[in-house]
Chains A and B, each alone.
Chain A
Amino acid sequence: MPVNRMPEPTVRQPLPTMTDTRSTCPYCGVGCGVIIESEGAQITGVRGDPEHPANFGRLCTKGSTLHLTASAAVTMQTRLLQPMQRLQRGSAAASVPWAQALDVAADRFARIIADHGPDAVGFYVSGQLLTEDYYVFNKLAKGLIGTNNLDTNSRLCMSSAVAGYKKTLGSDAPPSCYDDFKDAQCLFIVGSNTAWAHPILFRRIEDARRANPAMKIVVIDPRRTDTCEIADLHLAIQPGTDVMLFHGMLHLMLREGWTQPAYIARHTSGFDALERTVRDCTPDQVAKVCGIEPSALIEATRLFANSPSTLSLYCMGMNQSSSGTAKNAALINLHLATAQIGKPGAGPFSLTGQPNAMGGREVGGMANLLSAHRDLANAGHRAEVAALWGVADVPAAPGKTAIEMFQAAADGEIRALWISCTNPAQSMPDQATVRRALERCEFVVVQEAFATTATCAYADLLLPATTWGEKVGTVTNSERRISRVRPAVPAPGAARHDWSAVADFATRLEARLPRRAPGTLFPYTLDDPAGAQAIWNEHRETTRGRDLDITGLSWALLDTAGPQQWPCPEDQATGPATGPATGRSLGKARLYEDGVFATPDGRARFHNAAYQPVAEARDERFPFSLNTGRLRDQWHGMSRTGTLGRLFGHVPEPLVQMNGQDMARLQLGDGDLVQVSSRRGALVLPVRASTEVGPHQSFIAMHWGEEYLSGQSSSGERIAGVNALTLPVFCPDSKQPELKHAAVRILKAELPWSLLAAAWLPADRLQATREALRALMARFAFASCVPFGAGGALQGGAAERSGVLFRAAAYEAPPAALLMEIEALLGLASDETLRYADVRRGQRRAMRLVRNASNAQEAQLEGFLLAGDTRAEAWIKTLLLDQLPAQSFGRQLLRPGATAPAGVAARGKVVCSCFGVTETAIATTLRSGTGSESERLASLQAGLRCGTNCGSCVPELKRMVRMTASEIASTPVPVAATA
């Protein structure tokens, strides 16, 4: 195994010609600092910024491969590089000059606004935009056009946390900070797979636990995720029963006298009403509803209330719920009741999903918000904003939130949509409605960095945007910390910064609409960092006197003093830093230390809401709960991470996880195709038994959209991926949809004819080939199309070797022409291809053997296609992926059946993607290991170096150590067939 001879990725010495640029990671809300290495216009490497207070030099599997997603090959094949116009839906888009594109957009918007009013247009933007982009969008919609129909994908992500904070603490501000981890005596992780979704924070949690072994960690999650590896106590509650759990905990606290009456009396209001509500939530009742042991409930409550400091970390499990606000508030209730807030190591800490959902809210980039956390509903706030912008007024009517916006478009109410930096045709629930909306909408603008997202197919106008490594501006992470985003390389092709394109559009629209202000509302120098800075300064001014006051900050200060937390008012900040001030913290690390909250009376309010079950309970017809969530090495719709084969080493293909008992009952085996159907749609994909999910539950990763997992539905439409199943019911307060729970039926899919084709491909053809294959997915009842990568340590672009894998199934064999098309795309239409064909039986096999350039005696499998009987996958796939010598097999490669003619041992799935260490290698090493679990883990890491770079796989390693300990040494070695 090529593990130990690989160079240490983190000590790569920058070449003299190489430029280093400090910026931030574009993925999750941890907001890690990265140093981008570039040569000329090409990004060549990335490493963690040792001085960034979020990560101190660390990066996760996704962050440490960022530079690979910016390679020339990926850019050329996947990026949107020119403005494109589509004259007819479904036809190919043709490139047009920027000016023409924006005039077209301005004309269409102006006409629709003139004919149907400002609320006939909507803007759906993204938590991945920079604060400056957001600000211009908000000003365009609310300041110029006069509609509040501006919402973002943060609606699917953070809005319940926002509503929860505002209802209780009075302001949309996470009161805690990352440093609290080390001070916490009890960590309460709720509805968050931190180990996968926020890996760098999990590293910090591990550090804190190491420094303070007494620290207790409680994980509350229906799934037994890798995060549970570090937990002292795991409550696998039934989906959606969080409120009942928290009320039950409060009930116990009251019974045991574990609350802080003094604090409650001095700093809060509304406790009595809540007290009455929780009276009925007896331990037995809670245990029954939540499906947990009363003892576990009591233990969890004791830890929460009686630990010197309790910090809760929570994420989508709480937010993506039809009672998301109630869940957030109920948890915050506990912090208020036990005074676990406003002190080091304590507080309700919402972990942000996206890199700048926070910044978006700061500028009021939501349908119910205005600049600087101001409220639309508040006339005073509206007047303030109008004054700041120099317009008569801003519209009072609340705008349409994400789900409502697409419903309105589907109903014909909204006629023009501007979608920026997000992929609703993948990420929104109830895709049937979303797609109906996109089809019905008269004019759809998609502003994107990648031309490959599902939403691009619905655009009338495609506007190329800059992305990571090119953008300029600021972002705010989970702990209210503002970091600068700096460009390392120029924008490729004709791509422009989102704010720049939008401001350009806005001025053109301004000319076509009735005057709102004497001058232009968008006086920014386009396509110039100065413009972004001007926007930020304007935004800064709007925060004066607000809870998020940043008047004490400036770009210059951020450059010298490094990332800063808000609030940081003028008086508090010590002005422009003198001397080497990097790392100096000017802002406020922790909120509410004085017990004064952001409410009119300064008192935090207890939120009194009764427990509501999930919107769509399991029943006879739909007997399984479907949960969705993140994978360790993927991000959202995978428009970026999906370009890297190596990131598919951990979870190679789409699948649905089920509990082993349920599978046995349904007589399903690992890898069997199942049809998962809900009341809204259906999906076919392979099933896999998992100890993570409980009985009557199932899990599909949120990433699998139609770009990777599709097929043709019984009614002949293209299957829309995982969100064909999810439901659009949302929380009445936060309007956040319940992406985390849908009732589904799972049945064995009877698709007798199956296909598996895979091939190594040159980097300059890989992406284009995958896109071409992707277009063929809808020709089969089931199809998935993913890249794969060679194992081995992370070592930069040149050495990366990747390929594409296409899997499909159907009721009967498709026409040979279709298979030949697939073979041609995968380079199998060559003279070196071994073939077997039995048309009548639908059997077709092709193997491309290529002699080694160095040694003609040796030959390797470069690609294959198995059609009809694909059982040979069990060993053929291994030959290909592990690049084993194949010359000795010859024609036997064409044999049917799962048994290799000679021994073929697979390396199994990649656990550590930094060093490409596989399951098999780890299992083998572990079987010979001795000593305590920690010793064996240490020797494992010393031997194979797995988990010694980014550490994302450490929880999994720990689990494997434990499993091997509990077994006898005769563990069967996992093989590719089941990996």
Chain B
Amino acid sequence: MRTPFLFLVQPTKGMDMRVNKQKLVLVGNGMAGVRTLEELLKIDATLYDITVFGAEPHPNYNRIMLSPVLAGEQTLDEIVLNPWSWYEDNHITVHAGRKVVEVDRVKRIVRAVDAQGDVVEAPYDRLLLCTGSSPFMLPVPGKDLAGVIAYRDIADTLTMIDTARTHRHAVVIGGGLLGLEAANGLMLRGMTVTVVHVNAWLMDRQLDRVAGDLLRKSLEERGLKFRLGAHTQELVGNEDGRVKAIRFKDGSEEMADLVVMAVGIRPNVGLAESMRLHCDRGIVVTDTLQTVTDARIYAVGECAAHRGIAYGLVAPLFEQAKVAANHLAEMGYGRYVGSLTSTKLKVTGIDLFSAGDFMGGEGCEEIVMNDPFGGVYKKLVIKDDKLVGACLYGDTVDGSWYFRLLREGLSVAQIRDQLMFGESIPHDAGQPHA
């Protein structure tokens, strides 16, 4: 079936008719890029003729809400951020379902092809690369079997939903944020799910061991099964080439009609590299999100490497978008200096929050509270009288307060003893209770 989406927006009345208006081309119709456009339009809607290329045949949707969709808590329509009408209203040319294959930085032309191989070209004055990232697939035998997928986009989500109708056993490789959300969704859709994780505890990049173990306990209570510290040897297929089991280095096996790999993401830098842009764990950008190689070209989002970090979370992308838009709008004073990230798990009924340097370490002091009675664990990491990390499980009410303290980097020496008990704690008069 033919990819239907092609809009060529005609000039209409009232539209700015300035000649030689600058051309801005966005590669990647995702959250980072579209947010950048939104920020830009807020500042000046008339500055550019905007063209958008998107590989997915969808308008921009909220990728991080795929989990609720999988869990059946939301529908696809509900997670669309910018319906087609939005592009129309903002006079943006969209090439959805068209993959950019080449960029000529000399002639400043973007060249894309659609499913049929028809070529579309668009010239640019400024180019915004938001190619995002791709799931990393474990290089194990059988990774190409049918029923072995990643968890990245609507297509993956729909595959899981369909498979859940027809099959029993799911294995999710990767006990991180995404993996657990996938596992939870599949379980809610009636599959028996085993989460395979190579490390000793879940979400080891967001939680310390205590919190990780608490998380595992409560997920186990919900019916998930776990194989921690398990190394995948291979994926075993059946005669019609569909996965049927996963085999571990220790020789043991788990049945698997569906294997979801959520072991991390890799920035999509293929196009950038073909353009001879300097890449290192992402497209290397400056504090204005311009690529270090070509000042006309910006990179924002998971594909960009700023000060050596390519962020995989949504909050930093939005911060980058602000700065990039500021620069595109020729204001030029915005600077991006990196983001502090915080994590929440979108599994209903499980509250966890982590931010900053929650593992502590050299020169760090920990304040720890453990409430097995209420299933709550909190750890605050303090360095030089400043809050530098937090890891909360079971009660995340104060997460935002801690995150604020973290970002503001103010001294907590005065409130240290109350810190653990939340923002609302009145200062203690020290008088005996009568």
Contact = CB atoms under 8 A, between A and B. Distances in A.
B368 A837 contact: yes
A282 B367 CA distance: 71
Contacts of B371: 834-835, 890-891, 894
Contact of A891 (B376, B428, B432): B376
Name the residue in A834, A849, A875, A891 with the highest tally of chain B Cβ atoms < 10 Å from its Cβ. Answer: A891
14 contacts: A833-B372, A835-B370, A835-B371, A838-B368, A843-B417, A890-B373, A891-B369, A891-B395, A892-B421, A894-B371, A894-B420, A898-B431, A899-B429, A975-B432
A886 B416 CA distance: 25
Nearest to B428: A897
A977 interface: yes
Contacts of A824: none
Contacts of A849: 373
A108 interface: no
B370 A898 contact: no
B427 to A, nearest CB: 9
Contacts of A91: none
Interface string B373-410: 11010000010000000000001000000000000000
A900 interface: yes
A236 to B, nearest CB: 31
A841 interface: yes
A237 interface: no
Given A835-B370, A841-B417, A896 B376 contact: no
B434 interface: yes
Contacts of A835: 368-371
Contact of B432 (A836, A839, A977): A977
A675 B96 CA distance: 83
B433 A975 contact: yes
Contact of B372 (A834, A871, A875): A834
A88 interface: no
Interface size class of B (residues with CB under 8 A): 20 to 34
Contact of B369 (A836, A840, A897, A903): A836
Contact of A978 (B369, B382, B432): B432
Contacts of A831: 372
Contact of B433 (A834, A838, A841, A900): A900
- For the complex of A and B, the 3 pairs showing the least CB-CB separation, nearest first, are A897-B428, A977-B432, A840-B365
A838 B365 CA distance: 8
Given A838-B367, A841-B416, A896-B417, A832 B431 contact: no
A869 interface: yes
Contacts of A837: 366-369
Given A899-B428, A972-B434, A975-B433, A836 B373 contact: no
A977 B431 CA distance: 10
B418 interface: yes
Interface string A297-337: 00000000000000000000000000000000000000000
Contacts of A977: 432-433
B430 interface: yes
Contacts of B366: 837-839
Given A838-B365, A840-B365, A894-B371, 12 more contacts: A831-B372, A832-B373, A834-B370, A836-B370, A836-B420, A837-B367, A891-B371, A891-B376, A897-B429, A898-B433, A899-B433, A904-B433
A877 B131 CA distance: 62
Q: Which DSSP category, helix, strand, loop or mixed, fits chain A's interface? A: mixed
A978 B433 CA distance: 10
A793 interface: no
Interface string A338-356: 0000000000000000000
Interface string A165-203: 000000000000000000000000000000000000000
A615 B99 CA distance: 105
A832 B421 contact: no
B106 interface: no
Contacts of A841: 416-417
A865 B159 CA distance: 54
Interface size class of A (residues with CB under 8 A): 35 or more
Nearest to B372: A831
Contacts of B376: 891
A809 interface: no
Nearest to A837: B368
A900 B382 CA distance: 27
A832 B370 CA distance: 10
A859 B372 CA distance: 13
A104 to B, nearest CB: 53
B19 interface: no
B425 interface: yes
Nearest to A838: B367
A787 B242 CA distance: 70
Nearest to B369: A836
A897 B426 CA distance: 11
B417 A869 contact: yes
A895 interface: yes
A874 interface: yes
A969 interface: no
A871 B430 contact: yes
B434 A973 contact: yes
Interface string A884-911: 0000001110111111100110000000
Interface string A629-647: 0000000000000000000
A841 B428 CA distance: 17
Interface string B214-236: 00000000000000000000000
B425 A895 contact: yes
A859 B428 CA distance: 26
Name the residue in A836, A839, A892, A903 with the highest tally of chain B Cβ atoms < 10 Å from its Cβ. Answer: A836
A719 to B, nearest CB: 28
A835 B417 CA distance: 14
A276 B70 CA distance: 111
A566 to B, nearest CB: 56
A813 to B, nearest CB: 13
Contacts of A890: 371, 373-374
Interface in B333-366: 365-366
A899 B431 contact: yes
Interface string B409-425: 00000001110110001
B211 to A, nearest CB: 14
A596 B431 CA distance: 67
A904 B434 CA distance: 8
B432 to A, nearest CB: 4
A895 B371 CA distance: 12
A799 to B, nearest CB: 28
A894 to B, nearest CB: 6
Contacts of B370: 833-836
A895 B428 CA distance: 10
A306 to B, nearest CB: 51
A859 B368 contact: no
Nearest to A875: B433
Contacts of A975: 432-434
Contacts of B430: 871, 897-898
Contacts of A839: 365-366
B373 A859 contact: yes
A776 B371 CA distance: 28
Nearest to B377: A835
A142 to B, nearest CB: 59
A978 to B, nearest CB: 7
A516 B201 CA distance: 83
Contacts of B369: 834-837, 891, 894
A843 B380 CA distance: 14
B23 to A, nearest CB: 58
Interface in A818-870: 831-841, 843, 849, 859, 869
B428 A896 contact: yes
Nearest to A873: B432
A611 to B, nearest CB: 46
Nearest to B395: A891
Interface in A943-979: 972-973, 975, 977-978
A664 B430 CA distance: 20
